[in-house]
Amino acid sequence: MSEVPPAAPAEIQPERPVGRYEWLPEWAFYCGSITFLALEFIFPACVVTGVLRPTLLTVISAALLYLMLWANISVYLMRAARHLYGLEDKWILPFYGGSTPSQLALVWRKGVVVLILRSFVFAIYAYSLTYVAISRWQSYSFNVGPLTLPTATYFSIVTIATAGYGDIYPTSGLARAAVCTEILFSLSFGVFIFSLIASFIKREDKL
């Protein structure tokens, strides 16, 4: 009786990216992401500081890019929460894919701290733009008058750190509401940091 030849081993297929941008070359995806991120930072700042003339088109474009900046912050925090608290993938916006399953598995070891710090820095800048816009719209919103972008960034850092030196403080209801939201936002980062430390300690105990 003739022996049946062993079946050839199945060819291992490379992992395909998980996301909607798998048809793009990797270099094009990253170049486009960096360019769009630069627009999110630069264009709204040029509009709120008066470098660009505030026409209807520029204001709407700046507002959309500002909202996209907050969308990035939300996605970074949701991705970090997924790995800290074991949330399912359905809680992550599906159009922010582009990673293979093995790369997503490595996010915990290589990316959670980066995600939290990136969202922290982005939030400081986003609130800086908010304070500049409020102070230019209502010049009496702060005790020092209209804020420049560097001054607003300094005030945003002091506020999110809850330091409160008192050299700059809000004097209008709208400005106080914005400051209150940044303080509450900073408390959420405290929760993330403590959860991150606890998770690292738990993982070290398992080793």
- 26-76 pLDDT tens trace: 767 677 777 877 888 899 999 998 888 888 999 999 999 999 889 888 888
Mean pLDDT for all residues in the chain: 77
Q: Given this model, what pLDDT does residue 9 score?
A: 53
Given pLDDT bands bounded at 50, 70 and 90, which one contains residue 129? very high
Asked whether the predicted pLDDT for residue 6 surpasses 50, the reply is yes
Judge whether residue 13 has pLDDT over 60. Answer: no
* Confidence at residue 94, expressed as pLDDT on a 0 to 100 scale: 43
CA distances (Å), 89 to each of 38, 86, 109, 154, 183, in order?
28, 9, 18, 36, 29
Residue 162 banded pLDDT, cuts 50, 70, 90: confident
Q: How confident is the model at residue 128 (pLDDT cuts 50, 70, 90)?
A: very high
DSSP assignment of 70-82: HHHHHHHHHHHHH
For 26-87+94-206, CATH number?
1.10.287.70
Distance CA 112, CA 87 (A): 14
Q: What is the Cα Rg of the chain in Å?
A: 23
Percent over 70 (pLDDT), the chain? 68
Partners of 142 in the β-ladder: 170
